[in-house]
Amino acid sequence: MGERKTLGPRIATWIPYAWLIIFFLAPFLIVFKISLSEPTLAVPPYAPVFESLADIWVKIGALSFANYTWLAEDALYIKAYGSSLWIAFVSTILAFLIGYPIAYGMARAPRGLRPILLMMVILPFWTSFLIRVYAWIGILKPEGLLNQFLFFVGVIDQPLTIINTNIAVYIGIVYSYLPFMVLPLYASLERMDETLLEAAADLGSTPLKTFWQVTFPLSLPGVFAGALLVFIPAVGEFVIPDLLGGSETLMIGRTLWNEFFFNRDWPVASAVAIVLLALLVVPIVIFQNAQARMRETR
């Protein structure tokens, strides 16, 4: 702390903090405040928690956590959280299983080919996310491309019902978030020193053993980063379950939407959002710990 810094670097270090305060902490506090209020039929549709500064001490003792107890009591919310976490978890695993070989193949491709492969991974971002999800409806619906193809090949004689099921949601999430898995994996695999693989082979390790003993452990930071980048947005995903999922698909993003726009119960919706955030802090903390430990040990 005693170290003196010139003004330039000090401002530079404050920019990210300022960004976080303005665009993250402030909205968070606003949402948190709403979540503690009572719903009213007004614009905005919630009763203010504090009217004036003098009011604060009076009100603070009587703050209403009713919206949170409400969430805990209603099985619907708990189920929605549970099922969101589960769907996100399974999607993350699937994205990892598909993404790792892709990233590995890219990292081991001839040097000149790698930028092209990288381009192909990023290319879908050039099209609107919404359009790409709509496109999946066209592929997955009963008379869609997939069923037509399977008919043509002769694998099925009844159309598969994929659209409006959880399977469609998994497909949608894995498809949409795969680049977020592939890119950090690729970065960590590409950075790896190839003489390490030679050293392992030289010491008698077969290529498969080398993968598990050297390549995979060294790609773990990429695995964690990729998993978080898929898991966190997937938990709160709204568009994919809404467009591809069915009535059985219970996800917290949809619940949130319903509370805000159908029930117009902003306080409960805010509480849902706050709890979601709290839930997501857990994997982030785990990730940060793992990373810190890894940095310590290297």
Residues making contact with other proteins (CB under 8 A): 193, 195-196, 198-207, 209, 213-214, 217-218, 294, 297-298
Closest contact distance (angstroms) between CB of 218 and other proteins is 6
Angstrom distance (rounded) from CA 26 to CA 8: 26
Q: For residue 80, what is the enclosing H or E element?
A: helix 75-108
Nearer to other proteins by Cβ, of 3 and 202: the residue is 202
Tokens of 226: 């990729």
CA 41 – CA 265 distance, rounded (Å): 9
The 10 Å CB-count burial string (b at 16+, else e) for 131-160 is eebeebeebbbeebebbeeeeeeeeeeeee
Are the CB atoms for 171 and 244 separated by under 8 Å?
A: yes
Q: Which is nearer to other proteins, 158 or 297 (CB)?
A: 297
Residue nearer to other proteins on the CB measure, 52 or 206: 206
Nearer to other proteins, 150 or 218 (CB): 218
Tokens read off for 271: 């509480």
Residue 43 or 203 having the CB closest to other proteins: 203
- Listed in sequence order, the residues at least 6 apart from 42 whose beta carbon sits closer than 8 Å to its beta carbon are none
Q: Which of 168/214 has CB closer to other proteins?
A: 214
Q: How far is the CB of 217 from other proteins (least distance, A)?
A: 5
**How many other CB atoms are there within 10 angstroms of residue 287's CB atom?**
17
Q: Which is nearer to other proteins, 38 or 193 (CB)?
A: 193
As measured in angstroms, the least distance from the Cβ of 221 to other proteins is: 10
> Nearest approach, Cβ of 24 to other proteins (angstroms)?
33
Least gap, CB of 215 to other proteins (angstroms): 11
- Minimum distance of other proteins from residue 51's CB (angstroms): 58
Torsion sign, CA atoms 39, 43, 44, 48:
negative
- Shortest distance in whole angstroms from residue 203 CB to other proteins: 3
> What's the DSSP call for residue 226?
H
For residue 252, count other CB atoms closer than 10 A to its CB.
Answer: 27
Please tell me the distance from the alpha carbon of residue 161 to that of residue 264, in angstroms, as a whole number. Answer: 34
